[in-house]
Protein backbone atom coordinates (compact mmCIF):
# COMPACT_ATOMS: atom_id res chain seq x y z
CA UNK A 1 0.00 0.00 0.00
CA UNK A 2 1.52 3.30 -1.08
CA UNK A 3 0.71 6.98 -1.36
CA UNK A 4 -1.37 8.43 1.47
CA UNK A 5 -2.30 4.82 2.28
CA UNK A 6 1.16 4.01 3.58
CA UNK A 7 1.04 7.10 5.82
CA UNK A 8 -2.23 5.76 7.25
CA UNK A 9 -0.52 2.38 7.73
CA UNK A 10 2.28 4.07 9.71
CA UNK A 11 -0.27 5.91 11.85
CA UNK A 12 -2.16 2.68 12.58
CA UNK A 13 1.05 0.79 13.43
CA UNK A 14 1.82 3.43 16.07
CA UNK A 15 -1.44 2.57 17.84
CA UNK A 16 -3.69 5.40 16.67
CA UNK A 17 -7.04 5.01 14.97
CA UNK A 18 -7.32 6.64 11.57
CA UNK A 19 -9.47 7.03 8.48
CA UNK A 20 -8.06 7.24 4.95
CA UNK A 21 -9.66 9.56 2.40
CA UNK A 22 -8.37 9.09 -1.14
CA UNK A 23 -9.47 8.47 -4.72
CA UNK A 24 -9.07 5.22 -6.66
CA UNK A 25 -10.32 3.90 -9.99
CA UNK A 26 -12.89 1.22 -10.69
CA UNK A 27 -10.41 -1.63 -11.15
CA UNK A 28 -8.73 -4.63 -9.47
CA UNK A 29 -6.11 -2.47 -7.79
CA UNK A 30 -8.89 -0.47 -6.14
CA UNK A 31 -10.40 -3.67 -4.76
CA UNK A 32 -6.99 -4.62 -3.39
CA UNK A 33 -6.66 -1.20 -1.71
CA UNK A 34 -10.06 -1.57 -0.01
CA UNK A 35 -9.22 -5.10 1.14
CA UNK A 36 -5.81 -4.06 2.47
CA UNK A 37 -6.98 -1.09 4.52
CA UNK A 38 -9.82 -3.21 5.89
CA UNK A 39 -7.29 -5.86 6.99
CA UNK A 40 -5.25 -3.12 8.68
CA UNK A 41 -8.38 -1.79 10.47
CA UNK A 42 -8.02 1.59 8.80
CA UNK A 43 -11.32 3.40 8.33
CA UNK A 44 -12.23 3.70 4.66
CA UNK A 45 -13.03 7.02 3.05
CA UNK A 46 -12.14 5.67 -0.38
CA UNK A 47 -13.93 7.30 -3.31
CA UNK A 48 -14.21 5.68 -6.76
CA UNK A 49 -13.58 7.64 -9.95
CA UNK A 50 -14.07 5.88 -13.29
CA UNK A 51 -11.88 8.46 -15.06
CA UNK A 52 -8.88 7.83 -12.80
CA UNK A 53 -7.30 4.34 -12.68
CA UNK A 54 -5.80 3.48 -9.31
CA UNK A 55 -2.24 4.79 -9.11
CA UNK A 56 0.17 1.89 -9.48
CA UNK A 57 3.95 2.03 -9.02
CA UNK A 58 6.41 -0.77 -9.59
CA UNK A 59 10.03 -0.66 -8.49
CA UNK A 60 12.74 -2.82 -10.02
CA UNK A 61 15.38 -3.91 -7.50
CA UNK A 62 18.60 -5.91 -7.91
CA UNK A 63 20.67 -6.85 -4.83
CA UNK A 64 18.88 -4.24 -2.71
CA UNK A 65 19.61 -1.54 -5.29
CA UNK A 66 16.65 0.19 -6.92
CA UNK A 67 17.28 0.53 -10.64
CA UNK A 68 14.16 2.38 -11.72
CA UNK A 69 10.42 2.79 -11.16
CA UNK A 70 7.48 2.54 -13.53
CA UNK A 71 4.33 4.46 -12.56
CA UNK A 72 0.85 4.25 -14.04
CA UNK A 73 -1.37 7.13 -12.96
CA UNK A 74 -3.67 9.98 -13.90
CA UNK A 75 -2.95 13.40 -12.41
CA UNK A 76 -5.78 15.50 -13.84
CA UNK A 77 -7.78 17.53 -11.33
CA UNK A 78 -10.75 15.74 -9.79
CA UNK A 79 -14.28 16.64 -10.82
CA UNK A 80 -16.50 18.92 -8.73
CA UNK A 81 -18.60 15.89 -7.74
CA UNK A 82 -15.59 13.95 -6.42
CA UNK A 83 -14.42 17.10 -4.64
CA UNK A 84 -17.83 17.38 -2.92
CA UNK A 85 -17.61 13.75 -1.79
CA UNK A 86 -14.13 14.28 -0.32
CA UNK A 87 -15.26 17.42 1.52
CA UNK A 88 -18.26 15.59 3.00
CA UNK A 89 -16.02 12.81 4.30
CA UNK A 90 -13.59 15.34 5.80
CA UNK A 91 -16.43 17.03 7.67
CA UNK A 92 -17.87 13.70 8.85
CA UNK A 93 -14.56 12.20 10.00
CA UNK A 94 -13.38 15.42 11.65
CA UNK A 95 -16.04 15.12 14.35
CA UNK A 96 -14.09 12.26 15.95
CA UNK A 97 -10.44 13.07 15.27
CA UNK A 98 -7.57 14.93 16.89
CA UNK A 99 -5.48 15.52 13.78
CA UNK A 100 -5.66 15.71 9.98
CA UNK A 101 -2.71 14.71 7.82
CA UNK A 102 -2.49 16.13 4.31
CA UNK A 103 -0.24 13.91 2.21
CA UNK A 104 -0.35 15.54 -1.22
CA UNK A 105 1.32 13.68 -4.10
CA UNK A 106 0.34 16.45 -6.56
CA UNK A 107 -1.97 14.18 -8.56
CA UNK A 108 -4.85 16.65 -8.70
CA UNK A 109 -6.76 15.46 -5.63
CA UNK A 110 -5.87 18.09 -3.00
CA UNK A 111 -7.68 21.16 -4.35
CA UNK A 112 -7.80 24.66 -2.88
CA UNK A 113 -11.43 24.13 -1.87
CA UNK A 114 -10.49 20.95 0.01
CA UNK A 115 -7.65 22.78 1.78
CA UNK A 116 -10.03 25.62 2.70
CA UNK A 117 -12.46 23.07 4.16
CA UNK A 118 -9.69 21.49 6.24
CA UNK A 119 -8.67 24.90 7.64
CA UNK A 120 -12.28 25.74 8.54
CA UNK A 121 -12.94 22.34 10.13
CA UNK A 122 -9.67 22.46 12.08
CA UNK A 123 -10.53 25.85 13.58
CA UNK A 124 -14.07 24.81 14.42
CA UNK A 125 -13.18 21.47 16.02
CA UNK A 126 -9.75 22.49 17.40
CA UNK A 127 -7.92 19.90 15.29
CA UNK A 128 -4.19 19.74 14.55
CA UNK A 129 -3.24 19.85 10.85
CA UNK A 130 -0.06 18.32 9.40
CA UNK A 131 0.96 19.00 5.81
CA UNK A 132 3.39 17.33 3.44
CA UNK A 133 3.78 17.70 -0.33
CA UNK A 134 5.46 14.65 -1.89
CA UNK A 135 7.61 16.04 -4.71
CA UNK A 136 9.94 13.15 -5.54
CA UNK A 137 8.72 12.72 -9.13
CA UNK A 138 6.52 15.79 -9.65
CA UNK A 139 6.59 19.46 -8.73
CA UNK A 140 4.35 20.84 -6.01
CA UNK A 141 4.39 23.88 -3.76
CA UNK A 142 4.50 23.49 0.01
CA UNK A 143 3.21 27.08 0.23
CA UNK A 144 -0.27 25.85 -0.75
CA UNK A 145 -0.55 24.28 2.74
CA UNK A 146 -1.50 27.24 4.90
CA UNK A 147 -2.22 27.57 8.63
CA UNK A 148 -0.91 24.12 9.52
CA UNK A 149 0.26 22.96 12.92
CA UNK A 150 3.36 21.51 11.25
CA UNK A 151 4.65 21.34 7.67
CA UNK A 152 7.33 18.95 6.38
CA UNK A 153 9.39 20.38 3.48
CA UNK A 154 12.87 19.39 2.45
CA UNK A 155 15.33 22.13 1.50
CA UNK A 156 14.74 21.76 -2.24
CA UNK A 157 10.95 22.04 -1.84
CA UNK A 158 11.32 25.10 0.41
CA UNK A 159 13.63 26.89 -2.04
CA UNK A 160 11.41 26.11 -5.04
CA UNK A 161 8.30 27.32 -3.21
CA UNK A 162 9.91 30.60 -2.15
CA UNK A 163 12.02 31.02 -5.31
CA UNK A 164 15.03 31.48 -3.04
CA UNK A 165 18.37 29.85 -3.84
CA UNK A 166 20.65 31.90 -1.61
CA UNK A 167 19.16 32.51 1.84
CA UNK A 168 20.53 30.51 4.77
CA UNK A 169 18.47 27.59 6.05
CA UNK A 170 17.43 29.29 9.30
CA UNK A 171 15.98 32.39 7.62
CA UNK A 172 14.58 30.31 4.75
CA UNK A 173 12.62 28.18 7.20
CA UNK A 174 11.33 31.20 9.10
CA UNK A 175 10.25 32.86 5.85
CA UNK A 176 8.38 29.71 4.84
CA UNK A 177 6.61 29.60 8.20
CA UNK A 178 5.56 33.23 7.78
CA UNK A 179 4.46 32.67 4.19
CA UNK A 180 2.29 29.67 5.07
CA UNK A 181 1.22 30.99 8.51
CA UNK A 182 2.27 27.63 9.94
CA UNK A 183 3.01 27.27 13.65
CA UNK A 184 5.89 24.83 13.23
CA UNK A 185 8.14 23.46 10.50
CA UNK A 186 10.23 20.31 10.15
CA UNK A 187 12.99 20.72 7.58
CA UNK A 188 14.08 17.33 6.19
CA UNK A 189 17.80 17.15 5.39
CA UNK A 190 18.19 13.59 4.10
CA UNK A 191 21.35 11.98 5.46
CA UNK A 192 21.89 14.94 7.81
CA UNK A 193 18.65 14.30 9.73
CA UNK A 194 16.18 17.14 10.22
CA UNK A 195 15.66 20.45 12.01
CA UNK A 196 12.50 21.40 13.89
CA UNK A 197 11.48 25.06 13.98
CA UNK A 198 8.91 26.12 16.56
CA UNK A 199 7.18 29.47 16.94
CA UNK A 200 6.81 29.64 20.73
CA UNK A 201 4.35 31.55 22.92
CA UNK A 202 6.55 34.66 22.88
CA UNK A 203 6.43 34.67 19.06
CA UNK A 204 10.09 33.71 18.89
CA UNK A 205 11.56 31.05 16.63
CA UNK A 206 13.24 28.14 18.41
CA UNK A 207 15.11 25.49 16.45
CA UNK A 208 16.59 22.11 17.30
CA UNK A 209 18.59 19.83 15.02
CA UNK A 210 18.05 16.07 15.14
CA UNK A 211 20.70 13.82 13.53
CA UNK A 212 20.19 10.80 11.31
CA UNK A 213 20.91 7.78 13.52
CA UNK A 214 21.65 5.39 10.65
CA UNK A 215 24.94 5.89 8.85
CA UNK A 216 24.41 3.40 6.01
CA UNK A 217 20.70 3.28 5.12
CA UNK A 218 19.37 0.33 3.12
CA UNK A 219 16.37 2.17 1.62
CA UNK A 220 15.31 5.75 2.39
CA UNK A 221 11.84 5.36 0.83
CA UNK A 222 9.87 5.24 4.09
CA UNK A 223 11.81 7.81 6.13
CA UNK A 224 9.60 10.79 5.32
CA UNK A 225 6.31 8.93 5.69
CA UNK A 226 7.27 7.40 9.03
CA UNK A 227 8.40 10.81 10.30
CA UNK A 228 5.15 12.44 9.14
CA UNK A 229 3.18 9.74 10.97
CA UNK A 230 5.05 9.82 14.31
CA UNK A 231 5.05 13.63 14.48
CA UNK A 232 1.32 13.75 13.73
CA UNK A 233 0.39 11.02 16.21
CA UNK A 234 2.69 12.38 18.94
CA UNK A 235 1.47 15.97 18.76
CA UNK A 236 -2.17 14.89 18.40
CA UNK A 237 -1.70 12.81 21.57
CA UNK A 238 -0.62 15.86 23.57
CA UNK A 239 3.16 15.55 23.46
CA UNK A 240 5.39 18.54 22.71
CA UNK A 241 6.90 18.91 19.27
CA UNK A 242 10.47 18.48 20.54
CA UNK A 243 9.63 15.37 22.58
CA UNK A 244 7.96 13.87 19.53
CA UNK A 245 10.86 14.82 17.26
CA UNK A 246 13.23 12.82 19.48
CA UNK A 247 11.04 9.77 18.85
CA UNK A 248 10.96 10.74 15.19
CA UNK A 249 14.74 10.26 15.09
CA UNK A 250 14.31 6.66 16.17
CA UNK A 251 11.40 5.97 13.80
CA UNK A 252 13.08 7.36 10.68
CA UNK A 253 16.23 5.42 11.59
CA UNK A 254 14.23 2.19 11.75
CA UNK A 255 12.49 3.02 8.46
CA UNK A 256 15.73 3.20 6.46
CA UNK A 257 17.21 -0.01 7.88
CA UNK A 258 14.88 -2.21 5.79
CA UNK A 259 14.00 -2.46 2.11
CA UNK A 260 10.59 -1.02 1.32
CA UNK A 261 8.25 1.41 3.05
CA UNK A 262 7.19 -0.72 6.02
CA UNK A 263 5.19 0.70 8.95
CA UNK A 264 7.10 0.92 12.25
CA UNK A 265 5.22 -0.36 15.29
CA UNK A 266 5.53 0.67 18.95
CA UNK A 267 7.41 -2.49 19.92
CA UNK A 268 10.18 -1.71 17.41
CA UNK A 269 10.47 1.87 18.70
CA UNK A 270 10.74 0.74 22.32
CA UNK A 271 13.36 -1.84 21.36
CA UNK A 272 15.34 0.85 19.50
CA UNK A 273 15.21 3.15 22.50
CA UNK A 274 16.39 0.42 24.87
CA UNK A 275 19.32 -0.45 22.59
CA UNK A 276 20.22 3.22 22.12
CA UNK A 277 20.28 4.16 25.80
CA UNK A 278 21.29 0.92 27.55
> What DSSP assignment string belongs to 195-231?
EEEEE-TTS-EEEEEE--S-SS-S--TTHHHHHHHHH
In the beta sheet, which residues pair with residue 65?
62
Dist. CA 42–CA 270, nearest whole Å:
23
147-173 confidence digits (pLDDT tens): 999 999 999 999 999 999 999 999 999
237-250 confidence digits (pLDDT tens): 999 999 999 999 88
Residue 182 has pLDDT above 80, yes or no: yes
17-37 confidence digits (pLDDT tens): 999 999 999 999 999 999 999
pLDDT band at 212 (very low <50, low <70, confident <90, very high): confident
pLDDT band at 221 (very low <50, low <70, confident <90, very high): confident
Give the pLDDT of residue 210: 92
31-65 confidence digits (pLDDT tens): 999 999 999 999 999 999 999 999 998 888 887 77
Q: Considering the chain, what is the average pLDDT of its residues?
A: 90
Percent of the chain with pLDDT over 90: 67
pLDDT band at 90 (very low <50, low <70, confident <90, very high): very high
Q: Of 197, 201, 195, which is closest to residue 180 (Cα–Cα)?
A: 197
Neighbours of 68 (CB within 10 A): 8
Dist. CA 211–CA 190, nearest whole Å:
10
Q: Do residues 103 and 3 touch, judged by C-beta distance below 8 A?
A: yes
pLDDT band at 98 (very low <50, low <70, confident <90, very high): very high
C-alpha torsion angle, residues 140, 141, 142, 146 (rounded to 10): -120
Residue 268 has pLDDT above 90, yes or no: no
Amino acid sequence: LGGAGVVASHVKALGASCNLISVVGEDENANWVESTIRDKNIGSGIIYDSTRPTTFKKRYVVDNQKLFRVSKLEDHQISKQIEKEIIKKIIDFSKKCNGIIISDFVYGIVTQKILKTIREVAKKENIFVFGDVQCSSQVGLITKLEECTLIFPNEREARISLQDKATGLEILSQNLMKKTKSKNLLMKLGGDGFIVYENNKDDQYVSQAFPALTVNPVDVTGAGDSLLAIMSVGISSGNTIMETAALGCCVSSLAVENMGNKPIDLYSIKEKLILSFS
